[in-house]
């Protein structure tokens, strides 16, 4: 069993991947904040069951061969939520920059929390194997 298979670490890893993916989606929203008819997107938060396995079931096109190109624009592991945006400007753009900045800041802080928890978990393992 590899170290990364520990439930604690794999949970944190999933969470960090989710934050990474969310950062990408938020960057898309902000860079398109002046594009007509652009609607912002967000990711659905991952949920974990008792065993620490990500309970999200992805919906994406099935690849029948490894050499096929993956369907573009579909996030691989996390569901996306497109009902964001409650004020639409006349040009059809629904991105609210303040809202996005708030999301970016909270995303960054949660990522930092997950990263430091990961460090602490590694410290725990180091203690167990008697390194310190």
How near is the Cβ of 45 to another protein at its closest, in Å?
17
Instruction: Name the one range near another protein by CB under 8 A: 11-19, 44-52, 55-63, 81-89.
Output: 11-19
The pair of three-digit structure tokens given for residue 96, joined into one six-digit string:
């609210």
| 15 touching another protein, by CB under 8 A | no
For 70-107, b where at least 16 C-beta lie within 10 A, e where not — what string? Answer: eeeeebeebeeeeebbeeeeeeebbbbeebbeebbeeb
Among 31, 60, 81, 127, binds another protein (CB under 8 A): 31
Residues 100-119 that bind another protein (CB under 8 A): 100-101, 104-105, 107-108, 111-112, 115-116, 118-119
Listed as own residue / partner, the contacts of 100-106 with beta carbons closer than 8 Å and 24 or more positions apart are: 100/26, 100/29, 100/30, 100/33, 100/40, 101/30, 103/22, 103/26, 103/42, 104/23, 104/26, 104/30
| 99 touching another protein, by CB under 8 A | no
Residue with Cβ nearer another protein (24 or 50): 24
Sites of contact with another protein (CB under 8 A): 16-17, 19-21, 23-24, 26-28, 30-36, 38, 70, 72-73, 76, 97, 100-101, 104-105, 107-108, 111-112, 115-116, 118-119, 122-123
């Amino acid at each position: 069993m590899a170290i990364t298979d520990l439930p604690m670490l794999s949970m944190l890893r999933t969470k960090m991947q989710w934050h990474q993916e969310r950062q990408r989606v938020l960057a898309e929203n902000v860079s398109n904040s002046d594009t007509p008819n652009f609607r912002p997107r967000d990711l659905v938060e991952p949920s974990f069951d008792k065993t620490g396995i990500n309970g999200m079931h992805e919906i994406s096109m099935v690849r029948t061969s490894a050499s096929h190109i993956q369907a573009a624009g579909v996030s691989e592991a996390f569901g996306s939520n497109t009902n964001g945006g409650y004020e639409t400007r006349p040009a059809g753009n629904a991105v609210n920059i303040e809202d996005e900045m708030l999301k970016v800041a909270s995303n960054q802080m949660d990522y930092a929390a997950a990263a430091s928890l990961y460090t602490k978990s590694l410290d725990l393992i180091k203690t167990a194997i008697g390194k310190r």
